[in-house]
Amino acid sequence: MKNPFSEFYHVPNSKELLDIAFKKSMKSSAQVSKNAPILIKAKKKESKRIQVAIEELIDRILKIIKMVPIIDDLPDFYRELASILVDIDELKLTLGKLNGILPVLSKIEREHLSRLNRIEAPKEGDQLRRSAFGRVSSIINKQNKNLEYLNQIRGNLKEIPAIDYTLPCIVVAGYPNVGKSSIVKNISTNKKIEIKEYPFTTKKLNMGHLEIERRFHKTKIQCLDTPGILDRPMAKRNKIELQAILALRLISDLILFVFDPTPASGYDVDSQIELFNEIKENFSKERKIEIIIIFNKIDLAKESEIAYLKEKLNLIDGQFYLTNALSGENLDKLISDLKERYAEKK
């Protein structure tokens, strides 16, 4: 499904909202006969202006509230990811506060319209409209913090990748800076992934695809690049790491675990092994998900570094890939392995 937050569009701030509403209001024209007395004309004109402004505001605020999906109703993955990225209680509270001003706006409208009916001089109509606009402005301005908050969290939520639950999903995981993104960028269609020489470059989940040919049709497999994870207790893991954990837990059909056997990533191999064991134990065994092991950066790796990892993981040749994500060496083998695995499977 597409990202449920893809229709969470820009949220105007209070000034923008008021500008739109008042502009529309001042352009409005009331239906009144030319020959009507000035007092009637003033009443009709100002009533219309007040109505247009307040109804426009109510309409726009309702639209803002409605474009935020109800988090509790989302599928597990999106719901949990949203709770990692934003404080859901604060979001609910913010939407509740915005919703709370709607009856207040309606009341101001009703009160001013009934007072307008009773005016005795045209200039009182102008004064009443100004008074209504003043009260409305003060209410909307008090919501500015909430409007800006929505716009700010929108930035995080709209970056959530679209997951197609009908297609297999390979999750690429490992320590920071080991070359996960370089591999996904190389093997998938996603060429926009950012790669940098420092850890925690990837701060969100990036989706890429691999096209595969089945006997009668073409299809795709999903390949998800994740942020690095450190070997530490779950409770200590930050929001960036937790996104990777969530993907492993909820949407992986196959895990690609990437090791950097060299000191280049800045993290030692034993910690990477600990993380591997944790992932194997928690996310592979229970859900019967296979792990493909990759030793990356073979252009830098010494034989002794590869031998150490092999021995520690109890692997024999053929049970892991040796890759260079910069040159693409051996990634073609990995791609054909992946394509073969999914060529006939559903």
Ligand X SMILES: Nc1nc2c(ncn2[C@@H]2O[C@H](COP(=O)(O)OP(=O)(O)OP(=O)(O)O)[C@@H](O)[C@H]2O)c(=O)[nH]1
Query: Which residues would be at the binding site for Mg ion (CB under 5 A)?
Result: 180-181, 201-202
Residue whose CB is less far from ligand X, 163 or 183: 183
Residue 200 binding partner per list Mg ion, ligand X, none, with a CB distance cut-off of 5 to 8 Å that depends on partner kind: ligand X
What character string, x for contact with ligand X (CB under 6 A) and - otherwise, covers 260-299? ------------------------------------xx-x
Answer for the pair 245, 282: CB distance below 8 angstroms, yes or no: no
Residue 206 CB, nearest approach to Mg ion (Å): 8
Look up residue 61 and give its two tokens: 């605020």
Residue whose CB is less far from Mg ion, 239 or 312: 239
Residue 104 CB, nearest approach to Mg ion (Å): 48
Q: Is 187 in the site for ligand X (CB under 6 A)?
A: no
Q: Which of residues 83-122 bind ligand X (CB under 6 A)?
A: none
Burial class (CB in 10 A: 0-12, 13-18, 19+), 68: buried
Residue 48 binding partner per list ligand X, Mg ion, none, with a CB distance cut-off of 5 to 8 Å that depends on partner kind: none
Residue whose CB is less far from ligand X, 102 or 264: 264
- Give 325-330's long-range contacts (Cβ < 8 A, gap of 24+): 325/179, 325/182, 325/183, 325/186, 325/296, 325/297, 326/182, 326/299, 327/299, 328/186, 329/298, 329/299, 330/298
Helix (DSSP H) and strand (DSSP E) numbers for the chain: 11, 6
Stretch that binds ligand X, among 28-36, 88-96, 134-142, 176-184 (CB under 6 A): 176-184
Residue whose CB is less far from ligand X, 196 or 214: 196
Q: Which of 225, 277, 242, 191 is closest to 77 using CA atoms?
A: 242
Look up residue 277 and give its two tokens: 């064991």
Look up residue 310 and give its two tokens: 């092999």
Calpha distance 159→170 (Å, rounded): 19
What character string, x for contact with ligand X (CB under 6 A) and - otherwise, covers 314-343? ----------xxx-----------------
CA angle 231, 233, 239 (to 5 degrees): 85
Residue type, 182: S
Q: Is 177 in the site for ligand X (CB under 6 A)?
A: yes
First to last CA, the chain: 18
Q: Which of residues 189-218 bind ligand X (CB under 6 A)?
A: 195-197, 199-202
Residue type, 216: F
Q: Is 181 in the site for ligand X (CB under 6 A)?
A: yes
For residue 200, give the 3-state DSSP assignment. coil
Residue whose CB is less far from ligand X, 59 or 329: 329
Residue 249 binding partner per list ligand X, Mg ion, none, with a CB distance cut-off of 5 to 8 Å that depends on partner kind: none
Q: Is 186 in the site for ligand X (CB under 6 A)?
A: no
Look up residue 324 and give its two tokens: 């260079």
Q: How many CB atoms lie within 10 A of CB 286?
A: 9
Residue whose CB is less far from Mg ion, 25 or 181: 181
Answer for the pair 337, 292: CB distance below 8 angstroms, yes or no: yes
Residue 27 CB, nearest approach to ligand X (Å): 51
Residue 208 binding partner per list Mg ion, ligand X, none, with a CB distance cut-off of 5 to 8 Å that depends on partner kind: none
Q: Is 182 in the site for ligand X (CB under 6 A)?
A: yes
Question: Which residues would be at the binding site for ligand X (CB under 6 A)?
Answer: 176-182, 195-197, 199-202, 227-228, 296-297, 299-300, 324-326
